[in-house]
Structure 1
Amino acid sequence: MKWIDAPGILVFWVLAVVVFLQFFTRYVLNDSLAWTEEVARYLLILVCFLGAITATRRGAHITLEFLMRMVPPRLAKGLTVLSQTITLGFFASMTWIGIELTQKTRQKMISLPIPKAWIYTICVVALGLMAFYSAIWLWRRLRQSPEDLVRSLDDHLPTD
């Protein structure tokens, strides 16, 4: 675990506490807190975005590795570089669109006086970090020989 993974883990545990609080107040006290449902929804969104940073940093996003093992190494490298380029382009463009959305958003949460732009800002930062780590992976893939790239796929296989 690296320091960049800590915000996702922290938000996950805050989400767990908020959901437990929602459950406890609704089913035990029979009087639920109004803000817990909305806050839990936004925390779940943040867990997804912050967890995706970790997946991108590790190079653990889903991929068709079996296809890369079936084609010649040079084609596998070309497909991997193409895939990583598309991924980088997606994260970079979503970061740009997210910045524009954040600047235009003036709404607050319904149950709490917290601007939605704060949540969007965290998502935009997460997308920017995913773009950064995607660029690192693209650079690594470009520098790898086709044979080394195919061999590196075996590093992701589960071991018994």
Structure 2
Amino acid sequence: MSNLPDLDAMPKVMGDDGQFHATDEEVYLSGTPIEAWVALGFFWVLGATVFYQFFTRYVLNNSASWTEEIARYLLIAVVFTGATIGVAKNNHIQVDFFYKFMPQWLSNVMNTLVDIMRIGFFGAATFLTYQMMEKLGNYKMTIVDLPMNLVYGVVLLGFAAMCIRAIWVMKIHWQRGYTVLQRPESEMTDR
């Protein structure tokens, strides 16, 4: 007796005509949050900047010095706007092992505490970023003659958006009566 799978029982991807037959699901972008579009915009500008750097360095043999610094700051923008998507989807790293063994009342207390601490963290990070921006004043970037507060402004907006999304997530948790920690199979929707 062989341990090989029955090939006739497996789904067919190749038709009798020898052609690959598959259909893609339709893509709906209507539910895409604004943060995702902003992150996508920063990503495309980052990609164009890195391509320009590659072109000037290897094709023209005269590297544009500003591209490395701007690419670094654009990557920061992608990260902080992208992190907002993670907060909105409530899919950041979490440990749900202990929630399987906790009594329901303790699980509810822990969920509320996690939500409050998340909101507090993002609120504090927003405030501290604002304070740092005030202290920087007119400090300029190293190569490009632009204020560093442009970069920290994106970070500030990212933290503020994460704080607003964390409040939104807590509201949904209260409405549903459970969180993803209690029911890992559930998704984050506004229902």
Deviations 1:90-134 (A, max 9, x none): 100010111111122121112212111111111111111111111
After TM superposition, the score normalised by the length of structure 2 is: 0.73
1:17 alignment partner AA: A
Q: TM-score under structure 1 normalisation?
A: 0.86
Kindly name which structure, 1 or 2, has the bigger radius of gyration based on alpha carbons: 2
Moved >6 Å (runs of 4+): none
Q: 2: CA distance between counterparts of 1:88 and 1:94?
A: 10
Name which of structure 1's ranges 8-17 and 102-111 shifts more when overlaid on structure 2: 102-111
Deviation at 1:44, TM superposition (A): 0.6
Q: In the alignment, what sits opposite 2:119?
A: 88
Shift of the alpha carbon at 1:147?
Answer: 8.8
- Whether the 8 Å CA contact 2:39–2:81 is kept in 1: the answer is yes
5 Å-filtered alignment, 1:3-152, equals 3-105=34-136, 106-146=138-178, 150-151=182-183
Is the Cα–Cα contact under 8 Å of residues 96 and 181 in structure 2 kept in the other structure? no
Shift of 1:146: 4.8
Which structure carries more relative contact order (alpha carbon 8 Å, separation 6+)? 1
The answer for unaligned runs of 5 or more in structure 1 is none
- The structure with the greater share of residues assigned to helix is 1
Aligned pair count reads 155
Identity of aligned residues (%): 31
